[in-house]
Amino acid sequence: MNTHQNKVVEFEDLGVKEYQPSWDYQETLMKNIIDLKVKNRDLPVDEQHTTSNHFLLVEHPHVYTLGKSGHEENMLAGIDKLKEIDATFVKVNRGGDITYHGYGQIVGYPILDLENFFTDIHKYMRNLEEVIIRTIAEYGLKGERSPGETGVWLDVGKPYARKICAMGVKASRWVTLHGFALNINTDMRYFEYIIPCGIKDKQVTSLKRELERELTPEEMEDIKAKIRKHFVDVFEAELVIK
């Protein structure tokens, strides 16, 4: 267990950024933390270095990502179709199946050393869900958890249950990677080319669809601020903006 618990989280808004360089950046941050943890093992407790934590928010151009436990047949569009809709396809090392990222969607990547917080992946996932549940509650939406299915849902247990936020993470030596994707002004047509998260009978939705109006760029920024606020509260962290 880390004796120098650091609950300060460096926050960065990457704006609109392609998926691959965003992933590479996450991997670099993760590697730096892990390298430090490995180095700490050979040091006396009072000489060990404090590890850092990071939280990135980003919007990606159209991309489909397939988790390592996912099934490629859940990608319904072929290469030609992907070109036509200006989307790319990437296999990633997170858990979960296939998901879509695109404009009008807020994607969050916490790269946390969980030894700074708690060593419990299940609790980590529930905390991430809680951040989103609290965020969308500010818009009058009752986000819920669906048993056995990660992410945040509306009207769980009803025939018209729908997912508003997808999640998929990876952890190595208690350092997290990947995160969540919250649909705001997302073009929902892009979900027609996949079986989202490999779940055939469930729909996906967005804040725009639920509120029946497009959210303004100012409101998008406001949602990011709300996510940051609830992240701080739920994780009992301190956020510093890089």
The residues assigned a catalytic role are 197
95 marked among binding-site residues: yes
191 marked among binding-site residues: no
96 marked among binding-site residues: yes
181 marked among binding-site residues: yes
Q: Are 131 and 110 in contact (CB under 8 A)?
A: no
180 marked among binding-site residues: yes
98 marked among binding-site residues: yes
195 marked among binding-site residues: no
Residue 204 to residue 185: CA distance in whole angstroms? 13
Side-chain half-sphere CA neighbours of 76 within 13 A = 13
Query: Do strands 162-172 and 149-154 pair parallel, antiparallel, or not at all (unpaired)?
Result: antiparallel
Task: Identify the sign of the CA torsion 112, 113, 116, 122.
Answer: positive
Q: Which residues contact 229 (CB under 8 A, 6 or more apart)?
A: none
Per the annotation, binding residues for substrate are 94-101, 166-168, 179-181
